[in-house]
Structure formats: C-alpha cells, structure tokens
Amino acid sequence: MNMDIGKLKWTRAPGNYIISDHKIEITTSPHTDLWQRTYYHFRNDSAPVLQMETDEPFFSFTVRAEFESKRRFDQCGIVMYLDSENWLKASIEYENEAFQHLGSVVTNHGYSDWATTQIPASIKSMWYRLSRREDDYRLECSEDGIAFRQMRVCHMWNGRGAIQFGIYACSPEESSFKATFTHLELTECKWLAHNGQQPD
C-alpha cells in the first residue's frame, strides 16, 4: 500500500522543500546533522526530519532516496527519530569522488554508533527498509527495490509503544544538495519471526 504522505509531520522543517502526492524533495542547509557524543564528543541535533507516528508493533516502511550529494558527509535516508538522544538512521554519506559510506547509526540514551561499508561514489540512489518487531528493529537496503540486504538488527531502549519514523536529509559541512524521496510504502512486517533458538 502507498503511504499517506499527508500524515507526515516535520521536526525542524528545512528552508526549501516540495511535497507532492508521490514525491518529497528536500534541499539541505549547511551545518545540519544528527549525532550524539560518541568518539567526536560533539552533539548535533539539527537535521530536518519528516515523520509519521504509529503504535503498530509490527510493520515495514520502505522508501527510495535519490541524491545529488557532493560534499563530505552529505546524507539522506530513512530515520526513526524519537527525541534528540534516541533515534536511528540509515543513509549514504558522501566522502569523496572515489567512495562514500553506506551505513547506519543507532543512538540509545544519548550515544551514537556508526556501522558502515564503502561503496562507489557513482551510486546516486538507494532503497531503504525499516522493519519493526515491538522494540527491536531491522534496517535493510537495496539498489533495485527488489532484493534487500540486511544492514543491521538493533534494540531501541525507548522504542516500545508509539514511535515516529520517516525520512531525513542533512549537510554537516558547508554544503547544500537536493534529496528526492519516492515509493514511500507502509506494509505488514517483512521481517519474519525468528524460528531458530528459543528465547531464554
């Protein structure tokens, strides 16, 4: 089913954006970012985030992101932003003309981690899928929107009950670029229950 874009609400709306029935365009502003403490020690909580709220404990959210990134750390992708100290995101972060980082950040109780792999800088679009099973989450990516590969499984300590999820785009350095989001889809959970070892 297509997602009702009208249910999306801004946390820190960007200066320039366009929303239509089937497409969302965000033009980033310089010095916008999401990061908390770990390693770098700084705290950045300024990225535009567009989300909807749900208390549905089992679902999957899919979106395609196209981007014209060109400066280090330019990024856009999928997000679940609960508050400044509890959120997760998956995106491609531009590094240089040779490569960029496909990765994810999980922030619990004010500390972020960053798991990445290098991909060619020539890649300018990616599909992302966020799946929820109560307070556990799975992030996936796909280059064609058909074959998805797992990026991470994580637990969100504040991720039970009502949450918010959606998209984001930002430029941590002196940069601005356009990110285009299409094919927003909300479905039954595509992350199936584990059928191996039983819980303790």
pTM for the model stands at: 0.95
pLDDT in tens, the chain (200 residues): 568 888 999 999 999 999 998 999 999 999 999 999 998 888 999 999 999 999 999 999 999 999 999 999 999 999 999 999 999 999 999 999 999 999 999 999 999 999 999 999 999 999 999 999 999 999 999 999 999 999 999 999 999 999 999 999 999 999 999 999 999 999 999 999 988 888 77
Nearest to 135 by CA among 156, 165, 109: 156
What residue type is assigned to position 118 of the chain?
Q
The structure tokens listed for 77 are: 């992708």
Residue 64 has phi, psi (to 5 degrees) of: -105, 130
Strands 136-142 and 49-54: unpaired
Nearest to 19 by CA among 172, 101, 27: 27
| Residue 57 per-residue DSSP state | S
Residue 144 has what pLDDT? 97
What is the set of domains in the chain, with CATH numbers? 5-187 (2.60.120.200)
Residue 4: count of CB within 10 angstroms of its CB: 11
Residue 2 has what pLDDT? 66
Q: What gap in Å lies between CA 59 and CA 117, rounded to an integer?
A: 26
